[in-house]
């Protein structure tokens, strides 16, 4: 029963990844960028009202597509009918590599509050991935 819960948890985490990607994708258009702008305003401590340049909009579109695709792929890989230790280890190492590189990039680009969001995302994925190892 616990395994079922952890697979469900992982699938919810994948949906969260896709929703985050959709919000990023929506930032590629000025009329639908409010959620992404709010997030970046919050991450910068509401010091100013962030406006996205054309380059930032393009990068948001690309990032959104990558996140949606990544979430979609993981959603299918964590299904109990195909999930195995190889997939678990690949996801676990991928999440850790993402966390380290994204957090370093956030620090270097002077957006340290993004590291807090990264920690939350990391925990959301780590708990079920580690627990599935223990339950095998």
What is the per-residue pLDDT for 45? 83
Predicted confidence (pLDDT) per residue in 32-72, tens digit: 999 999 998 888 888 888 888 899 999 999 999 999 999 99
112: number of CA atoms within 13 Å, CB side?
Answer: 0
- Contact at 8 Å (CB) between 102 and 118? yes
- Contact at 8 Å (CB) between 88 and 129? yes
What is the per-residue pLDDT for 40? 87
Tell which residue, 34, 17, 25, has the closest CA to residue 98: 17
Predicted confidence (pLDDT) per residue in 25-34, tens digit: 999 999 999 9
Domain count, the chain: 1
Helices (H), the chain: 2-26, 34-43, 54-77, 85-108, 113-135
What is the per-residue pLDDT for 12? 97
Predicted confidence (pLDDT) per residue in 97-133, tens digit: 999 999 999 999 988 999 999 999 999 999 999 999 8
Write out the residue range of the structural domain in which residue 82 sits: 2-135
| Three-class DSSP category at 48 | coil
């Amino acid at each position: 029963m616990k395994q079922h819960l952890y697979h469900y948890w992982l699938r919810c985490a994948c949906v969260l990844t896709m929703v985050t990607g959709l919000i990023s994708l929506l930032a590629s258009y000025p009329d639908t960028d409010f959620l992404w702008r709010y997030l970046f305003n919050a991450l910068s401590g509401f010091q100013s009202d962030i406006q996205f340049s054309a380059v930032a909009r393009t990068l948001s579109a690309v990032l959104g597509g990558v996140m949606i695709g990544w979430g979609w792929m993981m959603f299918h890989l964590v299904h109990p009918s195909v999930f195995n230790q190889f997939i678990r280890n690949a996801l676990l190492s991928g999440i850790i590599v993402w966390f380290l590189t994204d957090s370093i990039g956030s620090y270097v680009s002077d957006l340290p509050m993004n590291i807090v969001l990264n920690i939350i995302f990391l925990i959301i994925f780590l708990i079920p991935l580690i627990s599935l190892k223990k339950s095998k």
